[in-house]
Amino acid sequence: MSTKRYSEADLRVLVDTFRNPMLAVVEGRVLVANDAYVALVGLRRVQVEGRPVMDFIQPEDRSRVVERYWRVESGAPLHDGSQLFQVPCADGVAREVAVTASRFALERGGGGLLLNCTPMENRPPEMSVAERLVETSAGLVSAHSENAVRRVALKGLEAAGFRARLLRWEGEGLLARDGEPLPEDARLGLESLADGRPVFGGADQAAPSHVYLPVGGPQAEVLWVEGHWVAPRHGSVLMLFAKVVGAALTDARVQAESARSRWEMEAVAQVARFVAQPSPPTQEDFLARVAPLLQADAAALHLSSPAEGALTLAAHVGLHDGADAQRLAGVLSCGAEGALSSAADEAALAAHSGGRLGAGAAVCLKRGGEVCGLLQVLRAPGRPFDERDLRLLGTLSELLVTLLEQRRLRAESSRQLDETRLLLDLARTTSGVLETSSILDVAADFLVRLLDVSNCYILLYDESARLLRGAAASIAHREFFRTVVLPLHGDGLTARVARERRPIAVEDVAAAEGGFNPELAHRFDEKALLALPLTSREELIGVVVVDDTRGPRAFGPELIELAEATCGQLALSIANARLYESLWASYAELAATRAEMVKRERLAALGELSAIVAHEVRNPLGVIFNAVASLRRLLVPGGDAAMLLDILGEESDRLNRIVGDLLDYTRPRDPVLQQEDLGRVLQDSLEAARMQGGGADRSIRIQSDVEPGLPPVPMDRRLIRQALVNVAVNAIQSMPQGGLVQVRARREAHAGREQLRIDVVDQGPGIPAELLHRVFEPFFTTKAQGTGLGLAVVRRILEEHRGEIAVDSIPGRGTTFTFRLPLSQPPSFP
């Protein structure tokens, strides 16, 4: 080491005097570099000075040199001779230099190393080529795909100064992977491939210009190499490189196949778990799961129709709805092992999809050895499927068949469960309902759900008229169908079913040549019909007809059998309901007869008793009336005597009225009905009530409101007037302080027929709720002077008119009596 101490300027002058590359390094960084070194690395001076010196050492040798440098910095001795290093340059080529190091001291203290670099210009070019090929061979290890191996190999040959291409065998000849035209002597490539040795070309030149190297590997490929250093003496090196490339391609293929196999297993396991969910996914969900696995842009599922066996589009993803989807998904067909799209198929796919799709694969779905469907996947043009995709698609199609079977079994189980529940509901309903009309309405709606039809119609057999009458229908046509009457003779569907006692189906109404009622079929827009007889103990009860308005339909044996079983249960329920209704009608008639007999006997006994009482009471009453009148005339009483005579007269008069009311209540009457003007009857009755009830002495207002256009009402004017007077008098007497009595008359629908309604409303104190149900009982009264027969007479009058009376009262707010009289009935009772 020189004892001289250098400044940075001195070092720059020192290194610039040398023509070979020189640089001064202090603390691991380049302090000064001369022009020769800057030219060596291909950079500018400012890009070199100040940087770590290790940036100019090849990465493979960097760790070792770093450790060596810091040992020298710590005082370790320098090597006497020079050392060879690879210096990376800006053009991407590493240049080999011999470096000699010496120490120097700095003015500011410390020191550094002066590195004298000698480029190794006389190195044989074959060595550089061989090293580049060795480096490329090492780089092939990190390439994990066949395309990556080919890319690294071609790039390495280009870096070594060669021009290279890959040619592949396609069964009939060689094709260039880069798409460019083949070399003129490409036949030499076939010779190289056949013999497994390098074959040199360039017959038009004195020395070989290129060589064909058999690569081997999973595909038959040939490496075409052109360059200045192509010569037979280098053939072994190039052949070794070609074998390394072939081995890398084989390894990449094996890795890719292994990765593909693992991925396929995972994909199949994933789809299997997806299919095995407690609730099976839909067909569209399955296609949406499968399409991304195969990198498909669209997928379609065709299933065979049970009736026709033809394949129809059942589900799809990635396709537009409508006829275009049907045509696009129907381009591909497949054999036993599946099929990949041909050139014609791809052209058709592109035409139907507007260029969006252009490659496809298809496999058949089989159940029990029979083809039941077709699964297709489609991709964009230029992305064809291969045999591996077809194999995976075949495996996934087996899972799809499993899914379809699961869904079929689940749907079948669900259908059977629904049918069982519906049958149970029908049995529970019909057993709990003993009214025929209610049973029929429930059964019609039930059969629509059970048989999955559009409408249901039930006709009952009228034996006396030999007709089938519409009795019930599902909700859409219920009211109209009750007016339908069909004859039992002729060739109509219902008539034939009734006569032959067997089910008859019309699967396509439009194609049938008759055998049904065309008017009803047109009205209900029927496309298919099924009629079944209702019989009980070999006796015809009626006919059930179901239709389908969605389109023609084949009614299978299972459905007809289910419908027959349901109709059998329905017929039994109708027969039981009829028996019950007949029994109930007999009981009701018997009860009514008994009640009428009791009532008549009571009235007869009461009438006889009333006649005796009236005879025995009215004779003394006549004597009392005469005696009171004589006393008034003879004595001209005053004071207490006059008051006592007044009491005697009033009580005698009251006793006379009681006898009269009793006779009115018990006297048998047959009302003579005539068409009467209700307004005049009301006016006459209310005037009489005002006089009898004392309304003239108090501020009583009576308001009458009759509906305009009310027709004449059939009634016995005298009796209805008596009933109205009795009720109106009670209303007036219930308001001792005065008030308003409202009488309203109008028409209303009640109990299935049009009736006259008359409301008499007062503003009295009302009737207590616990007494409301007794107001029409004979001899029940809350008045001190009442007989308790007024309202009983009113109810009897209305019952004799086939009407009714009702009462509604709110304590403290008044009472309303409601009369209801039929607006149409015979002029008089038979």
Task: Give the DSSP per-residue string, 587-619.
Answer: HHHHHHHHHHHHHHHHHHHHHHHHHHHHHHHHH
89 with 173, same domain: the answer is no
Q: Is residue 151 a contact partner of residue 55, using CB atoms and an 8 Å limit?
A: no
Instruction: Mention every residue, 6+ apart, whose C-beta is less than 8 A from residue 567.
Output: 532, 533, 534, 544
Beta bridge partners of 536: 539
The DSSP-derived string for 555-577 is: --HHHHHHHHHHHHHHHHHHHHH
Residue 446 lies in a domain: yes
The DSSP-derived string for 28-76 is: TEEEEE-HHHHHHHT--HHHHTTSBGGGGS-HHHHHHHHHHHHHHHTTP
Q: How many CB atoms lie under 10 A from the CB of residue 201?
A: 22
Q: How far is CA 457 from CA 150, 224, 305, 449, 454, in A?
A: 78, 86, 30, 13, 11
548 with 439, same domain: the answer is yes
570 with 446, same domain: the answer is yes
User: Sign of torsion, CA 142 146 147 153?
Assistant: positive
Nearest to 493 by CA among 522, 467, 518, 471: 518
Nearest to 15 by CA among 104, 92, 119, 116: 116
Q: Is residue 817 a contact partner of residue 806, using CB atoms and an 8 Å limit?
A: yes
Residue 615 lies in a domain: no
* Burial of 792 per CB tally in 10 Å (0-12, 13-18, 19+): buried
Q: Which helix (H) or strand (E) holds 191?
A: helix 187-195
Q: Which helix (H) or strand (E) holds 505?
A: strand 504-506
Residue 614 lies in a domain: no
Could you tell me how far CA 266 lies from the centroid of its own chain?
31
| Structural domains in the chain (count) | 5
Of 587, 602, 624, the position where a domain reaches its end is: 587
Residue 642 lies in a domain: no
- Secondary structure of 417-448 as H, E, C letters: HHHHHHHHHHHHHHHHCCCHHHHHHHHHHHHH
Nearest to 275 by CA among 398, 377, 367, 160: 398
Joined together, the tokens standing for residue 371 give: 């083809």
Domain that holds residue 540: 424-587
432 with 578, same domain: the answer is yes
Report d(CA 260, CA 347) in Å as an integer: 29
| Per-residue pLDDT at 761 | 92
One-letter amino acid for residue 38 of the chain: V
315 with 186, same domain: the answer is no
Beta bridge partners of 22: 116
98 with 238, same domain: the answer is no
138 with 115, same domain: the answer is no
318 with 439, same domain: the answer is no
317 with 389, same domain: the answer is yes
Residue 659 lies in a domain: no
Residue 465 lies in a domain: yes
Q: Which helix (H) or strand (E) holds 194?
A: helix 187-195
Q: Supply the CATH number for residue 377's domain.
A: 3.30.450.40
Q: Supply the CATH number for residue 20's domain.
A: 3.30.450.20
Largest CA distance in the chain: 185
Of 587, 607, 630, the position where a domain reaches its end is: 587
Q: Supply the CATH number for residue 709's domain.
A: 3.30.565.10
Cα radius of gyration (the chain): 58
102 with 226, same domain: the answer is no
Q: Is residue 232 a contact partner of residue 202, using CB atoms and an 8 Å limit?
A: no
| pTM assigned to the model | 0.43
693 with 756, same domain: the answer is yes
| Per-residue pLDDT at 830 | 36
All residue ranges of the chain with pLDDT < 50 are 1, 827-830
Exposure class string for 544-566: b at 16+ Cβ within 10 A, else e: bbbbbeeeebebeeebeebbeeb
Q: Is residue 713 a contact partner of residue 751, using CB atoms and an 8 Å limit?
A: no
344 with 302, same domain: the answer is yes
Residue 555 lies in a domain: yes
| Per-residue pLDDT at 827 | 46
Q: How many CB atoms lie under 10 A from the CB of residue 778?
A: 19
Residue 751 lies in a domain: yes
Could you tell me how far CA 733 lies from the centroid of its own chain?
69
Per-residue model confidence as pLDDT tens digits over 419-433: 666 666 666 665 655
Of 119, 144, 160, the position where a domain reaches its end is: 119
